[in-house]
Each structure stands twice: as structure tokens, then as C-alpha cells.
Amino acid sequence: MTTDPTRKHPRPGFPDQEQQHPGWTGPMDPPPDHGEDSYEGSGLLLGRKTIVTGGDSGIGRAVALAYAREGADVLFTYLPEQEEEDAAETVALIEEAGRTAVAVPCDIRAEDQCRQLVQRAIDDFGRIDVLVNNAAYQMSQPDGIRAISTEQFDRVVRTNLYGMFWLCKMSLPHIPRGGCIINSTSVQAYKPSPHLLDYAMTKGAIVTFTQGLAQMVVGDGIRVNAVAPGPVWTPLIPATMPDTVEFGKQAPLGRPAQPAEMAPAYVFLASPRASFITAEILNATGGTPLP
């Protein structure tokens, strides 16, 4: 039976809600769908050793869940002392799928923590088959560039770009031929919202980085791609956006995506079915046309 994509998940308006950054899954209304009751694996990633940054909630949790149900072991990061409850829930989902879960408190803005993260993956798994750079930071500023402080700008750039750069650089020596890197960019890379100027800038940079790195490592048998989501209902939204009531209404499908709708893109790009795909951006924007 087919499902109308405009009606598959809740549509705006949502209840008005606000959280402190980084946000938590529990208070969200409606609750996000990570695929807990719907994602069925088929062994596409059997035995793979994977890293997912920001895997405690949102897209990261959905990817971690899907990877585990596809047969992968998952090491994921979360912000220490802020996301422990969500991280524990992700661990439970991975272990319920019969796979190994390793939850690592890590702030990817710090180079030493990125280095320790990669070493933890090698100590526990022996190699890295798939690296998913998903963790990100944004903070809406309706007053535009005048309201973006140097502190905010630095946090956005260090989280979204420095962390990705360091983890790619440090992981590549441990990624065997046939392995891959998947970065998270955004519709914002192509259609920037003025209130997310600094965030959109970093997402554009991720597109360029992905395509350049892919060419650099293709001779090593490693693929590098990215996923560009549109609006997705994650804890980052009530924690960083001024208006949750109409969130996602601008997408042609008339609603935001649920994290579970993003996970299949990350599974596909990590799987052997994408063996001829590298340097590509997989757009999952709810109908917003991108270049």
C-alpha cells in the first residue's frame, strides 16, 4: 500500500515550544520518529564498523538505529553532561538490534577530543568502515548578521567544519578500501535563510569539501558523499528556532521530515549498492529543487 508523502507524518502547526540548547527528544511535541517501529534492515551493512557524530538524537539517532538494524556496530558521539539521557536511548536501540553500541562523550570543536574519538574507534573496532559527520550547531538570529556574535560564529564554524575536517583527516588512515565518508550538509547550502547565515555558510563549505575530498581519496578506494536534508523535526529546532508552530511548512510537501526519513539515504550511501557513487550530494529536501 502506498502512502501519501504529504500526510505520512505530522504537519504544521505544531505546539509552540522552546528548549535550551542542545535540546532533548523527550519534551518534543509531536515526538520525532527515528524509525523505532518502522525501519527494517536487510543486512546491507553486515559487520561494518561505523562512527556517527551527534548520534544521541535526531538524524544521528535515526542513522545509528538504521545502521544497527542493517548489521553494523555503531560508535556515536554526544555532548557530555547535556545529552546523556538521549544517548542512553540510542544505545538501547542499537543493542536491541543485536549490535555493539559505543557512546562517547565528545565535543568535536576540540581537536584532542576528535583524536581520542578516532582512537577509541580503533581500540574497540579495529577499523572504521563508515564515518558519518552529522553533528552540527546552529542558532537562529532574526536580526541578521548584526546579531551574530564572534562567539556564535566561532562555535558554528568549529562544530560544523573543524570537527568534520579533523575527523576525516584522522580517520582516513584507518578506513580500508571499500569504506566511505558521509557528511551532512543542508538545503541551506543552496537556499540560505537570512536568519541562519553563518550555519548556511558552513553547509555550503561542506558541499565543496565533500566533492574535493572525494577526488583526493578515490584512488584509495574510498567514497565520499553527503546528504542535504531539508527541514527535519529534531531537538535542534525547538532549541534554536524562534517559531516551531509553522516549522517545515515551506517545504513543497508541506511539512518537515522526520529523522526516520533521512536514515535510508545514509544507509544507501554506505552500502555496496552505492559503489559507483562518490562526490555526490543526495538531496532530501521535501521537494525543494536544488542545483
- Catalytically active residues are 199
- Amino acid 1: pLDDT: 66
* Domain assignment present for 139: yes
- Amino acid 187: pLDDT: 97
* Domain assignment present for 37: no
Sheet holding 73-78, edge to edge: 101-105, 73-78, 49-52, 130-133, 180-184, 223-229, 281-284
* Domain assignment present for 123: yes
- Amino acid 71: pLDDT: 98
Q: List the beta bridge partners of residue 257.
A: 232
* Domain assignment present for 108: yes
* Domain assignment present for 277: yes
Task: Judge whether 233 and 248 are in contact, CB under 8 Å.
Answer: yes
Whole-Å CA distances, 251 to 85, 226, 246, 257? 31, 20, 11, 9
* Domain assignment present for 73: yes
| Domain harbouring 65, CATH code | 3.40.50.720
CA–CA dist 108, 149 (Å, integer): 20
Q: Into how many domains does the chain fold?
A: 1
Domain encompassing residue 60: 49-284
CA–CA dist 51, 151 (Å, integer): 28
pTM exceeding the 0.95 threshold for the entire prediction: yes
Q: Quick one: 142 exposed, middle or buried, by C-beta within 10 A (0-12, 13-18, 19+)?
A: exposed
What does the pLDDT profile of the chain (291 residues) look like in tens digits? 678 999 999 999 899 998 988 888 999 999 999 999 999 999 999 999 999 999 999 999 999 999 999 999 999 999 987 778 999 999 999 999 999 999 999 999 999 999 999 999 999 999 999 999 999 999 999 999 999 999 999 999 999 999 999 999 999 999 999 999 999 999 999 999 999 999 999 999 999 999 999 999 999 999 999 999 999 999 999 998 878 999 999 999 999 999 999 999 999 999 999 999 999 999 999 999 987
Whole-Å CA distances, 132 to 41, 74, 98, 142? 18, 10, 21, 30
* Domain assignment present for 214: yes
* Domain assignment present for 265: yes
